Amino acid sequence: MAVYTDVLDDDLAAFVAEYDIGDVLAFKGIAEGVENSNFLLRTERGSYILTLYEKRVRADDLPFFLGLMEHLAAKGFACPVPVKGRDGVALRRLSGRPAAIVTFLEGLWPRRIQPVHCAGVGGALARLHRAGADFPMRRANNLSLAGWRPLLEAAAPRAHEVRPGLAEELAAELDRLEAGWPRDLPEGVIHADLFPDNVFFRDNAVSGVIDFYFACTDAFAYDVAICLNAWCFEADGAFNVTKARLLLTRYHAARPLSQVEYAALPMLARGSALRFLLTRLYDWLNHPAGAFVKPKDPLEYLHKLRFHQGVRDVGAYGLG
């Protein structure tokens, strides 16, 4: 839940006047999104989301993110579309922040994940990968293998506060991932953060995907592994093989996974688990007292990591 920057009346009026979207009828901060400030903006023309990009998003990356959404939407993929001002520019400034208006996407993100949602997200992820395949810009994934050791080193001195021995366990896992990380997998634009709150559904079908602010160029199968972790574990920690099978088969139906990609999935899932564990651990140890955003439990991902450490092949994910 997040509104970090409020917008003064005159600033909003001057900003919106740069667009051809009519007068503002309503403007409300939205309690979603952890990284940026998001507002529902209703004008005479329709509903939009106005985002102010806060300091965790690098301004240099914004043309990639906005360009990607425009590219995907042009390919028929349902995602927010950046709205351009009369001068043709989508990325502007407001209240001292980079800011953009995107179209409002209907649908609800699922609070309680059912198998049908996992089927839906599998298909949507494959369509996203196909639609983004010819997007011409590149952005390195700075939260992949090379980024994990600095995160671990930053968190290690106090990791024992979260769990005794945690730093040592993660260091050993990182050694193994560095030795065995899959290379030369098919790659392209990945979402890299496709958690349930970023996927909207209507009538059990995906109506759209939001929040492309971790998108980057990386192995498609790594994105699949992120979704296995984000969608297929139950609240009690159990891995739901039915959900995983639906996610993987519906992905495969829209973008076939090669044998090499299938074989890489357990290692990619371990890496994905470590990635979210490390960023959550860092946030847990470093969130300011009185922060608006409650940090997420890092140990949820230690549990997921250990599950994938025990996986020998994709049979454990319901395939084969």
Contacting residues toward a copy of itself, per CB under 8 A: 1-3, 6-10, 12, 24-32, 40, 42, 47, 104, 106-108, 110-112, 202, 287, 289-292, 294
| Shortest separation between residue 15's beta carbon and a copy of itself, angstroms | 13
Shorter beta-carbon distance to a copy of itself: residue 30 or 299:
30
**305-308 LR contacts (CB < 8 Å, sep 24+):** 305/173, 305/270, 305/273, 305/274, 305/277, 307/233, 307/239, 308/266, 308/269, 308/270, 308/273
| Shortest separation between residue 31's beta carbon and a copy of itself, angstroms | 3
Shorter beta-carbon distance to a copy of itself: residue 3 or 319:
3
**39-46 LR contacts (CB < 8 Å, sep 24+):** 39/3, 39/7, 40/104, 41/16, 41/101, 43/16, 45/20, 45/21, 46/21, 46/103, 46/104
Shorter beta-carbon distance to a copy of itself: residue 13 or 253:
13
- For residue 107, the tally of other CB atoms under 10 A from its CB is 17
Shorter beta-carbon distance to a copy of itself: residue 37 or 144:
37
Shorter beta-carbon distance to a copy of itself: residue 8 or 260:
8
Given a contact cutoff of 8 angstroms between Cβ atoms, the answer to whether 218 and 141 are in contact is yes
| Shortest separation between residue 40's beta carbon and a copy of itself, angstroms | 6
| Shortest separation between residue 111's beta carbon and a copy of itself, angstroms | 5
| Shortest separation between residue 126's beta carbon and a copy of itself, angstroms | 24
* CA–CA separation, 101 and 48 (whole Å): 7
